Homo-oligomer: A and B are copies of this chain.
């Protein structure tokens, strides 16, 4: 079977709770919003694939009201596969900062435009920072309830640190840019 990260995200999440594809999408979009993303185009085919290979099992919940929910549960083989993957070294981080792509060509644009890109980046990171602080507050009181919470906290703390550093950079960059553009050169 194909060996992509999506496979292990699903196994990992299902190792905590049985879930539907829709649940998984939501889970990734909240818990992992800072550092990962999965589309339905990855989730549903991968669920099929995992089931075919007996790493998870499907149970169709007959629901009178609404769509039938297909709830997936991890198997022992699935748990083993997950643990083997966890033992392998991680690949290096991948980043895409589209705004830096625009900023690095800032000499081709005018001052206000460059300011705007930085300000929008700052605003995005302020929102993320707030979210991370909220997550932190929510997880800290329930740390003792489950071993898994501790690891969620670690990931949240990285998101918090980086978004904070990003906001601080933005403030410095705005200052530097204003000096660079506005400041007359003194004798």
Q: Which A residues form the contact surface with B (CB < 8 A)?
A: 5, 8-9, 12, 15, 31-32, 34-37, 79, 82-83, 85-87, 89-109, 113-114, 116-117, 120-121, 124, 146-148, 150-152, 154-155, 157-158, 161-162, 164-166, 168-169, 172-173, 176-177, 180
Tell which of A85, A107, A120, A164 has the most Cβ of chain B within 10 Å: A107
B82 x A108 contact (CB < 8 A):
yes
Q: For the A-B complex with A93-B95, A162-B169 known, give 5 more contacts whose Cβ atoms are closer than 8 Å.
A: A12-B104, A82-B105, A90-B120, A105-B148, A107-B146
Is there an interface contact between B158 and A101, defined as CB atoms closer than 8 Å? no
Number of this chain's copies in the complex:
2
Closest 3 A/B residue pairs (Cβ): A90-B99, A165-B165, A35-B97
Asked if B12 contacts A101 (CB within 8 A), the reply is yes
Please indicate the chain B residues that have their CB under 8 angstroms from the CB of A8 in the complex: 101
Residues of B near A12 (CB, < 8 A) are 101, 104-105, 108
Give chain B nearest CB distance to A80 CB in angstroms. Answer: 10
B158 touches A35 (CB 8 A): no
Q: Which residue of B lies closest to A150 (CB)?
A: B180
Residues from chain B with a CB closer than 8 A to the CB of A180 are: 150
Q: A79 — which chain B residues lie within 8 A by C-beta?
A: 108
